[in-house]
Structure 1
Amino acid sequence: MRRKYIRPQSKAALMCPRFGLFAVALLLVALVLHRFGFIQTVNLPYIMALVGISAALSLIFAFFGLRALWQEGYKGGLSCVKGGLLAFMALAPLLFIGAAWFAFPPLYDITTDFDTPPAFLAGSRPADALPVKAGFTPAAAEEQWAAWPQLSGRRYDGSPDTVLKAVYAVLKAKNWTISGEQGKAGEDSLLLVEVVAKTFVLGFVSDIIIRLSDEGDTSFVDMRSASRYLPRDYGINARFIADFMNRLDAEILSLPVDETRD
């Protein structure tokens, strides 16, 4: 009578896809909840650490499961492959973020004016937000300049109230929320508009102050953007400023000539 050989099931192979699936699910849920403000940025690193641990455990179980398959013929090879792929799916964004952390300079407060940076309105940033500089040291200015030399203020023909209309149009197009204003168009020579901006995918929040200075026949626009909770902003604030200024250039050019000369 022929005896039937039953291959034993590797326990490591059973656990491998479970940890891999948990890591991917936790990563996706955490990012979605953070995007819509249900998870604070300060808590996100702890969740990402749990994702990394789960993915690492999945890879460890995959190793032992495949070794049991190779040496003793245990079942579970396909489960190990699936779990390993899930683990790499969870680890890939974490590795990318880690590499970017070292690639970008340790800056979170970016400005177009190092000498007299626009000041945020009093009480506008949350109490637990990262502190903003009263002034930029030469070292900080040099570090920003080395990374983003293209950032600069803009001088436009026309009065601040005319330029302010263009600023409002760009803010509406970018869906940035105005959180405060100072100065009255047509009366004050200095106008300040403070807004809150979020990155599209992950929802990282920055406070941005836009300063319009009356120079007589022209107006000068400066900006400052500071992350609330990211101690290293991955270039987010520089991109906020650069994109806004480019859009403002286009908006000013679209205004009637007689309006910019008022």
Structure 2
Amino acid sequence: MKKKYVRLISRAAVWSPRFGGLAFLILLFSILLQRFSVIDVTVFMILIIISACCVVVSLFFAVKALYSLWVYGALGGMKALRGIIYSLTTAIPLVLFWGFWFTLPALHDVSTDIQRPPTFFRTARPSDALPLKSVLIEQAALQMSQWPEMSGRRYDGSPDRIRESVLNVLAAYDWPVIAQKKFKGEEDELYIETVAKSFYLGFISDIVIRLIDEGDTTFVDMRSASRYLPRDFGANAAFIIDFMEALDTEIALLPLSQDEK
């Protein structure tokens, strides 16, 4: 009578795709919930770490299953392969996220004027939000090396005239106007506050735009500060650079005033 050889089923192969699928689902839902502001940044970071741990566990079980297949001929090779696919699919965005986290500048508050950045007067930042500094001079070299094109603008015309263009660009970007206020001094200043979200993950940044009356010209400064994320992945600088370029275009399309004709 012939003996029937029964191949064992690798339990590691069973668990590998389970943890891989769980990692993918956690990552997917955490991104969606963060993008639509259902969860805060702290919860998002915790979910990201949990997803990364599930990826590691899934890959561990996959390697163990493949070892059992090679040495003992255990069943489960396809399941182990599926676990690897799930894990690597999840690992790619995680590696990109943490790669940018550790390689991009550790900045969360940038301004076109680092010596006297525009101040927020109305925006109510939550108590657990990142603190704001009155001076950003210590990050001048880093900011200039990363974004040399991020600078203020001087336009011909009164602040009221430039303000209309600023509001038009804000409307085009769908950034809500939180508040506007004028301050009297040696140079009259108009402040406009708004809020923006990063495109992919919806991280919130508070933004203030300052218009300084210089007589025949108006100088425009801008500041963008993340509420929670200590590293903004360059989003705040991108907000300022893109907005200023759009404002340049908007100003260029303005009809000449009576004084300029």
Which interval holds the TM-score relative to the shorter structure?
over 0.9
- Mapped to 2, the partners of 1:33 and 1:107 lie a distance apart of 24
Separation in structure 1 between the aligned mates of residue 162 and residue 44 of structure 2, nearest angstrom: 39
Cα deviations by residue, 1:140-169 (Å, 9 ceiling, x for unpaired): 112211211111100111111111111111
1:244: which partner in 2? Answer: 243
Q: How does 1:56-205 map to 2 (within 5 A)?
A: 56-122=56-122, 124-137=124-137, 139-183=138-182, 189-205=188-204
Query: How large is the Cα RMSD of the aligned pairs?
Result: 1.8
Aligned equivalents of 1:61, 1:124: Cα separation in 2: 48
Percent identity between the two aligned chains? 45
Residue 35 of structure 1: how far off its partner (Å): 0.6
Shift of 1:4: 4.3
Following TM superposition, by how much is the alpha carbon of 1:216 offset from its aligned partner in structure 2, in angstroms? 0.9
Q: What is the rounded CA distance, in whole Å, between the counterparts of 1:144 and 1:231 in structure 2?
A: 15
Q: Which moved more, 1:251-260 or 1:95-104?
A: 251-260
- 8 Å CA contact 1:20, 1:58 repeated in 2: yes
- 1:225 is the counterpart of 2:224: yes
Is 1:38 the counterpart of 2:34? The answer is no
Q: Does 1:47 align with 2:56?
A: no
Q: TM-score, normalised by structure 2?
A: 0.94
Per-residue deviation, 1:123: 5.1
Q: 1:135 deviation in Å?
A: 1.1
Deviations 1:71-115 (A, max 9, x none): 111111011111011111111111111111222111111000122
Runs of 4+ in 1 over 4 A off after TM superposition: 1-4, 259-262
Distance 1:173 1:95 in 2: 34
When normalised by structure 1's length, the TM-score is 0.94
CA displacement at 1:5 relative to structure 2: 3.3
CA distance in 2, matches of 1:133, 1:234: 19
Query: Any stretches of 5+ residues in structure 2 without a counterpart?
Result: none
Q: Secondary structure at the match of 1:118?
A: coil
Aligned length: 258
Q: What SS class does the counterpart of residue 183 from structure 1 fall into?
A: strand
Residue 246 of structure 1 aligns to which amino acid in structure 2?
E
